[in-house]
Chains A and B, each alone.
Chain A
């Protein structure tokens, strides 16, 4: 099979291809590096907390009262307080947020009223948390007369999370194909019947996930609860929503900056518990999403 002449294969690479390929690799590596950078802070924070704080974690720490001017003992009142605050905020913001999102997504005509609501949502999402805190004091503590209490603090948190709950819910609702709604309407279903039987069942996974993610975010909020319901130190556990309470985030602030002679590991221990709560809720949300997506119906 000796060939007489050298026939150049016309598909060989050219100078230009080589340079394009080099640039391609360069950018890929650059972008990958930037994306990888993202993991760094998470890793550093987590390892620091685990290394310095895990020695604190014990049954007495989780379920005991702080003692000796908060330099010893446990964090139970703060832990329980955070659960209270987040729980009550959830009970307020989820029904309101979901209902508002259903209205905006399924009923609202395109008019000035709807546009005003949308504008309000965007702006509410941009309000700094310290401003929410002052609003909470004015509105819930003073005007509605709830005093500094779990209720006032949770309502402040609820107002703060409302826009995100609405946006997350609305996105999940919009992800349900329009054709399903049309199919229902054309069989004579009312809007509510359509929402109830087709839209909500098919968007519940997205709504739940969004809501849980939002809730986990409020767990760490400090400013909005500081003036409205959370206290530095209260030796008794809250009994109703009208009591004040301790909270993990505020407790962390207090033991790291306000109290002298705190053992070094204590703030790390508190932070570790706080971040574990957040991560736990996030994982629950992801697990739920995966579970429900497995059952996705279209």
Chain B
């Protein structure tokens, strides 16, 4: 009976809080050549919150993520219309510099992909890239390395062998390192595409704990196939199906009282 009023109030607050949004999209459509992968996506993803994105394989989760840091455009045949605002700025504006977008929007992949250099060099890679015009002493750099590794709960484990090859770490540690190396560039959004799917249960738990730890400091959007993970490690949840957003609410609400039949079916495991 009061669902109508509810709807109204949410849209009202959403409009007011628009610039407070980490990611806001309106009428976002995306094609891979002839194939439309995203249909009319209107999302309002809040700052400082962990938002999870769930949905069956092929529904466009990665596609959405990859359009938020504009990595999709590399493929010449991708067509995008509509807009994506990051902190209120349209990142598809022709004047926008790609490098600046990438600095603010970091991405973590399914398979950990540390660079084949030392742990230390991995952390400093982005930092050095974006501070070529400034001089940093070794002490400054050490501090950056320590701070980043502290934040991802990896410092104690690796502090004595920062010169070791990053690729020799365990997968869990590699994934943490991949998150850590984004931090010196001071991103505000972290996109994570199934960050735990290559990890064992223990590693998964450790990375989830880390994500929960980073909540508030960064706006985190995490794609997952693991319903339990979405439930444990996110505050808001987006359900997608065949390129469309079906539902976007508090995680707790979504798993207890889904508003759509499709959501309910998916949560209960009626389609993969």
Contact = CB atoms under 8 A, between A and B. Distances in A.
Interface of A: 109-111, 177, 179-180, 182-190, 193, 197-198, 202, 297-298
B113 interface: yes
B76 A110 contact: yes
Interface stretch (B81-89, B100-108, B243-251): B100-108
Contacts of A183: 109, 113-115, 178
Given A109-B76, A110-B76, A297-B117, A185 B102 contact: yes
A65 B177 CA distance: 65
Contact of B185 (A177, A184, A187, A297): A187
A202 B116 CA distance: 8
Interface range on chain B (Cβ under 8 Å from partner): 20 to 34
Contact of B115 (A109, A110, A111, A184): A184
Contacts of B76: 109-111
Interface of B: 69, 71, 74, 76, 98-100, 102-103, 106-107, 109, 111, 113-117, 125-126, 129-130, 165, 167, 178, 181-182, 185
B129 A188 contact: yes
A102 B200 CA distance: 38
27 contacts: A111-B76, A179-B111, A179-B113, A180-B113, A182-B71, A182-B109, A183-B115, A186-B69, A186-B71, A186-B102, A186-B106, A186-B107, A187-B106, A187-B126, A187-B181, A188-B98, A188-B126, A188-B130, A188-B185, A193-B129, A198-B115, A198-B116, A297-B117, A297-B167, A298-B116, A298-B165, A298-B167
B116 A297 contact: yes
Contacts of A187: 102, 106, 125-126, 129, 181-182, 185
Nearest to B76: A109
Contacts of A188: 98-100, 102-103, 126, 129-130, 185
